[in-house]
Structure formats: structure tokens, C-alpha cells
């Protein structure tokens, strides 16, 4: 038997742009006590703006930007999009000889015969690229050319306008704990967590680390939601009691892996989802 109220609840939420893939998830939403958020594209817009380009070791800033845009040209990561937009010029595909994306780290490409790495600090260190210390006000994307540090691109992401209010309302609704997980650096994670009043945060995570961390919060009661934009988040969406994906920016894999999809990337819809789940009457037929 299917509780009839579930149909009404799912229907009501679908009108608000929240797709719930089964009545059992309304039950899980009702019993939620922990919500774990991905940062980029979920709490933040995921639309980065380049704020600084700084070249080192013999190339100029324009050359650095160009080579980074070429290396990123096949990536759909929000960081890649921002670099391509800032570059704002044509990409000559013939110059891209190899391309590989390393999830949660960056990209490796062969551009006009040179091996180009664009990504985070770990990615550079793993590849033997010596990097200087840079003040981390924002996300720093490092560039290595033939394993020599060639410069960095600083980008900043904005917190979504509805995020702070949503976190406050979740607390009012009795959600006990909010957690932020991110592949981004410690300083950015801390700043976002403090600004939003998120209870706990973890930085420098790979997608598999996010799964390990989420597992620490799981208990016998179904009570842990993970909310992600989907880029690299499919495993952790699948592992949570209820995986919620932002459908606008999200990847197809994430929308597939999610139990609930928020169609227009409005994070405040989580409040609607919880409210409707609580009001859903279990009419058994």
C-alpha cells in the first residue's frame, strides 16, 4: 500500500520546482537532523569571477591566462568556466593535443607541445611543481608549464543570496547540525562557514573523502541529507539518506544519483521540502 498523502506531497513540491523521486524520501526529510552541504555551486553561486592573474618565470599575464583557458577549454568545472569567460577569446582546438581532467584537483593538457597543469596546490605538489606561498583570499588556481610554476589565477565565488536565510530557517525548523564539505582551501571554507553560521566545515576534500566524512554522520535513523550541485558529487549524493541536487548547474550523473532535485538552484526550496514532508498526511489506501 502507498500512503496517499505522499502523492499530494510530491505533487505540491513539484509545483515549487522540487522533484522528489519517491514517497520514502518525504519520510526521510521529515526525520532529518543533519544537513551536509557541498560549498561550490551549492552554498555559493558556483560562478567564479577572476580577480587576479599573476604570471611567474618568464611569461606574461596574458600568456598565462591564455594557456590556462586552453587547458581548461574541455572542462565543465565552474572554475574552468570562469577562466574561459575571463579569457573571452577564441580557442584554436588544433593547439590542444591532449586533455585529462583529474576530479577534485584540476586538468592536465598538452598545449602546443607544452604540458600544462591547472589546479589546486595538492595537484601541483604531486607533480613536482614548486609553488610559492600566496595569500589565500579566494580560490587560487595554480598553473604549471612543463612542471615549472608559471603563475596563479585568483577567483572569488559569491555566496548565493538565499543561503544565509536558509541556514537560519533550517535551525528554526530544528535541524540539529549543518556541515560544509569542500575541495576548496581551508581559508575559503572557514570564511564561508563563519559567514553563514554553518556548524562544522571540512576543506581540501576529494570526492571520496566527502563520502568517508558523510559516513561519520550516518546513524541507524534515516536523518542525514547531502546537498550538492552535482559536479563530482554523485557518490556522496548516493550514500546519504537523502541526496539533494541543485538541478540547474548540476551534472546529469548527479541528477540521476540524487533522491531530490531542486530545479532552479534555489537553495531555500529545502525549507519547502521539509515543511511539506512534515505536513504530509499518511492516508493509507
Torsion, Cα of 71, 74, 75, 81 (10° steps):
80
Q: Candidates 211, 231, 236, 245: give the one binding Mg ion (CB under 5 A).
A: 231
Tell me how far apart the alpha carbons of residues 39 and 181 are, in angstroms, rounded to a whole number. 6
DSSP letters of 220-252? SSS-EEEEE--TTTHHHHHHSSEEEEETTT--H
Residue 237 binding Mg ion, by CB under 5 A: no
Q: Candidates 35, 65, 67, 141: give the one binding ligand ADP (CB under 6 A).
A: 141
Helix, coil or strand: residue 47: coil
256 burial (CB, 10 Å; 0-12 / 13-18 / 19+) is middle
Residue 265 binding ligand ADP, by CB under 6 A: no
- Nearest residue to ligand ADP on Cβ basis: 183
Only one of the segments 59-67, 116-124, 193-201, 259-267 lies at the binding site for ligand ADP (rule: CB under 6 A); that segment is 116-124
57 and 152 in contact (C-beta within 8 Å)? Answer: no
Cell of 30: 521529515
Cell 577572476 belongs to residue: 50
Residue 40 binding ligand ADP, by CB under 6 A: yes
**One character per residue 160-189, x = contact with ligand ADP (rule: CB under 6 A):** ----------------------xxx-----
Q: Candidates 23, 53, 105, 250: give the one binding ligand ADP (CB under 6 A).
A: 105
Minimum distance from residue 225 beta carbon to ligand ADP (Å): 17
Q: Candidates 9, 39, 217, 280: give the one binding ligand ADP (CB under 6 A).
A: 39
**Strands 49-55 and 148-156, bridge-based pairing:** antiparallel
Question: Which has the closest alpha carbon to 24: 3, 53, 50?
Answer: 3
Any catalytic annotation for residue 122?
Answer: no
Residue 211 binding ligand ADP, by CB under 6 A: no
Residue 104 binding ligand ADP, by CB under 6 A: yes
**CA-angle at 142, arms to 141 and 148, nearest 5°:** 170
Q: Residues interacting with Mg ion, by CB under 5 A?
A: 38, 40, 231
User: Contact positions toward ligand ADP, by CB under 6 A?
Assistant: 38-40, 72, 75, 77, 79-80, 104-107, 118-120, 139, 141, 182-184, 207, 231-232
The set of catalytic residues is: 38
Amino acid at each position: 500500500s502507498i500512503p496517499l498523502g505522499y502523492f499530494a506531497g510530491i505533487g505540491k513540491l513539484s509545483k515549487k520546482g522540487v522533484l522528489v523521486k519517491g514517497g520514502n524520501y518525504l519520510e526521510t526529510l521529515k526525520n532529518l537532523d543533519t544537513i551536509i552541504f557541498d560549498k561550490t555551486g551549492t552554498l555559493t553561486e558556483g560562478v567564479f569571477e577572476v580577480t587576479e592573474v599573476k604570471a611567474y618565470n618568464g611569461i606574461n599575464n596574458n600568456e598565462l591566462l591564455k594557456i590556462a583557458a586552453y587547458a581548461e577549454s574541455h572542462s565543465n568545472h565552474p572554475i574552468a568556466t570562469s577562466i574561459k569567460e575571463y579569457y573571452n577569446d577564441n580557442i584554436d582546438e588544433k593547439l590542444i593535443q591532449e586533455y585529462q581532467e583529474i576530479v577534485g584537483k584540476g586538468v592536465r593538457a598538452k598545449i602546443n607541445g607544452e604540458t600544462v597543469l591547472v589546479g589546486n596546490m595538492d595537484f601541483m605538489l604531486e607533480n613536482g611543481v614548486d609553488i610559492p606561498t600566496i595569500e589565500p583570499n579566494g580560490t587560487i588556481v595554480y598553473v604549471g608549464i612543463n612542471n615549472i610554476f608559471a603563475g596563479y589565477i585568483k577567483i572569488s565565488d559569491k555566496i548565493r543570496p538565499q543561503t544565509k536565510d536558509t541556514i537560519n530557517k533550517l535551525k528554526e525548523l530544528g535541524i540539529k547540525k549543518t556541515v560544509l564539505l569542500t575541495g576548496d582551501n581551508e581559508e575559503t571554507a572557514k570564511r564561508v562557514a563563519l559567514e553563514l553560521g554553518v556548524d562544522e566545515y571540512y576543506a581540501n576534500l576529494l570526492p571520496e573523502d566527502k563520502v568517508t566524512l558523510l559516513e561519520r554522520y550516518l546513524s541507524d535513523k534515516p536523518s542525514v541529507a547531502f546537498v550538492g550541485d552535482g559536479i563530482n558529487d554523485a557518490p556522496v549524493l548516493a550514500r546519504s539518506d537523502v541526496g539533494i541536487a541543485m538541478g540547474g548547474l548540476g551534472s546529469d550523473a548527479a541528477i540521476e544519483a540524487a533522491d531530490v532535485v531542486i530545479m532552479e538552484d534555489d537553495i531555500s526550496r529545502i525549507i519547502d521540502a521539509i515543511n511539506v514532508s512534515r505536513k504530509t498526511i499518511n492516508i493509507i489506501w
